[in-house]
Amino acid sequence: MMFYHSSSFYFPLLLAVALLLGASRPAQAQKYRTAAGLRLSSGMYGLTVQQKILPKTTLEGLALAGSREVTGTVLAEQHFGLLGPSLNYYLGAGGHVGNHKDTGAFGGVDFIVGAEYKIALSRFVVAADFKPSIEFNSDDWARFPTAFSVRYILIKDKKSGFLNDVFGSDKNDKKKKKAPSQRRGLFDW
């Protein structure tokens, strides 16, 4: 009996297990409110800023430059926990505008799917994504770039912590504290 030992066999298996585990527990999304950093892709580089607007939703702004063009992109992204709040994947959509040296102004619609990891005991987040786009007024009708981002957490999420809820949480403390009651008189009903 021969057993297949290639890494190409283990990757799909590990990915399937990770997705099942991630889907079986409630997602906490990411562990920060605001993060900013650098984004690198083939032929393009620039800045990325992510801002949490809802418990599992962020807006991401990208300012990118290449040898012949500059672009600005805004994406709305929905985050889903994967093996805990430090690792999550996200899906989203948005749009971009830019200027190419040869063809002038252009715009388009973007989609994004990616994964990000908040490095333990640090304020850094690393992410990898695939961001296909449909172009208008451009020589390229579609693009399919991948990118790598490193962001620094500017504002942490108050609910996140290394030992959060291990020794109790503020939720129980709030229930124990009662609002001060007003004294009532005999005829005050």
Q: How far apart are CA 168 and CA 97, in angstroms?
A: 48
Q: Give the start-to-end residue ranges of the domains of the chain.
A: 28-156
* pLDDT at residue 22, as a whole number: 43
Distance, in Å, from the CA atom of 112 to the CA atom of 98, rounded to the nearest integer, reads: 18
Alpha-carbon distance values, 33 to 52, 54, 127 (Å): 5, 10, 16
Residue pLDDT tens, the chain, 189 long: 444 444 444 444 444 444 444 443 444 456 789 999 999 998 999 999 999 999 999 999 999 999 999 999 999 999 999 887 789 999 999 999 999 999 999 999 999 999 999 999 999 999 999 999 999 998 888 999 999 999 999 999 876 455 444 444 445 545 555 555 565 554 444
The correct answer on CATH 3.20.20.60 for the domain covering 28-156 is no
Residue in this structure with the two tokens 């504002």, named with its chain if needed = 155
Dmax over Cα atoms in the chain, in whole Å? 89
* Residue 67: partners with Cβ closer than 8 Å, 6 or more residues away: 43
- In the chain, what is the straight-line distance between the N-terminal and C-terminal CA atoms, in Å? 84
The DSSP element (H or E) to which 54 belongs, if any, is strand 44-54
Q: Which tokens sit at 158?
A: 């108050």
> What pLDDT is attached to residue 144?
95
Whole-angstrom distance, CA of residue 24 vs CA of residue 128: 23
Selection from 50, 63, 40 nearest residue 157 by Cα:
50
